[in-house]
Amino acid sequence: MSAREPQPSWARLRSLHSDESGVISLLTVFVMMGCTWLLLWIVNSARQLDSKVQLQTAADAAGQSGVGILARGMNAIAFANQLEAELFAAIAVMQATEATPASASAQLALLPVFEEILSGNGVEPRDRPIPAFRREVIEVIPPLADELTRNIGRANGAWRGPDAATNPDGPQGPLLAVLWSTSGRPIGRADELDPRTRTLPVVDPSPLGWDAPFLSDPQAILVQARRERRQLANHYLRPWADDLAAGDQDLSDLLVIRSGRFLNRLLNEIYPDTNLPVQLRSPSPNSEALEADLMFVTTTYRQHKTPMASRMFRNPNATHAPAMAISQVHLFLPLDRYVCCPWTEVRIDPRTGLEYTVVFMQGWPREWSASTQNWQAKLVPVTAPGLGAILTSTPSQGAGPSWGSLSPRQLDELVHQ
């Protein structure tokens, strides 16, 4: 049998063109490549979204916690104001009790203690116990707020991978949270002794206090502080008189009347310019400076997640800045709110027999004052006018980017990433 002659080259090519075996396998390769690309795109998008949500959650939680500490500081100052006024009332009532025949109380033994708290036993007026406590709060609270903001931010970015025990921050590194004033100054970095720039928006009105050299209108704020101190002290006269009278209403009324003379002597003669309640830096709730005093911004920073198939999927922001999120928190005194149910109730005055309507409220204080112990913090939309200064500032720890080197387009990309 003779060997089969080889086919010409053109014949082999013609047979290859007509042979359709293996086409499905080739199409499957391209389909699988497309599906793999789509799967990687979905995974990277989900990872980016998860990182953004985590960063924003950290900004909200850190800001709420940091400004919450500032609210506690304001409430501590308000407590000191109230305590000082109550001491004036207690001393006046005790002195009236000593001067009233047939009246005695074991609580009179506290009179020397109360007097020494106010007088400070010979120390400088600004170093007396209550003024010194307020100054300590003013100096210590902002650094505490800054520290808590950073700790809460880092805790929200904690790594939960298999090596979390040895690498708590994960491959992205630590999540940095910074609390700012709306003027672009990090909280805890200001000169807290200067009432014009300190974080807690209060000033000491005393001519002998720490803030005296910085006051622009010392006489006006002194008059306001004296008026507030008298109102608070008069408020506490009745409770102390009732307590010292031990249920004797006639004696209580007599002590309230007689204690007025002793209170006037304390306020007008012994302590006219000292032991005054601190005042808010913005005297009116509608002041234009209010937002600068009571609005705070929190920013969080963290390195971007490395995308899967990084040569195919690239994050353009990762080359010039870390990921970031922003939140704004308001330090405020809440308004008194109505209570339901019922909202109102009609009652009859026993003396006149006339009807009158009682509107039920929560009973929160309504005074715009540093002596109101109801300061709170809440998240609000980011509308701070100083946001540009914050975005172009670099956190002092150096973990953030050099924002000043970024172009407006790059800043816009970071804000809307």
Per-domain residue ranges for the chain? 40-333+368-415, 334-367
Contacts of 416 (CB under 8 A, 6+ apart): none
> Higher model confidence: residue 9 or residue 195?
195
Q: Yes or no: say if 155 and 175 are a contact pair by the CB < 8 Å rule.
A: no
Instruction: Calculate mean pLDDT across residues 125-154.
Output: 94
Given a cut of 60, is residue 65 above it in pLDDT?
yes
- Output the six-digit token pair for 161: 């991978």
- Count of CB atoms situated within 10 Å of the CB of 406: 17
Given a cut of 70, is residue 401 above it in pLDDT?
no
Phi first, then psi: give them for residue 11, nearest 5 degrees: -70, -40
In this prediction, what percent of the chain has a pLDDT beyond 90? 39
Confidence of residue 398 (pLDDT cuts 50, 70, 90): very low
Q: Yes or no: say if 75 and 375 are a contact pair by the CB < 8 Å rule.
A: yes
Reduce the DSSP state of residue 355 to 3 states and report it. Answer: strand
d(CA 285, CA 333): 10
Name which of 312, 304, 416, 306 is nearest 38 in CA terms.
312
- The conformation of residue 296, written as its DSSP 8-state character, comes to E
pLDDT digits (tens, 9 = 90+) for 296-317: 999 998 887 877 777 777 776 6
What pTM did the predictor assign? 0.81
Write out the H or E segment, with its range, that includes residue 180: strand 176-181
Contacts of 75 (CB under 8 A, 6+ apart): 373, 374, 375
In the prediction, which pLDDT does 131 show? 94
Most confident of 192-196, 260-264, 282-286, 365-369: 260-264
d(CA 111, CA 109): 6
- The conformation of residue 173, written as its DSSP 8-state character, comes to -
Confidence of residue 276 (pLDDT cuts 50, 70, 90): very high
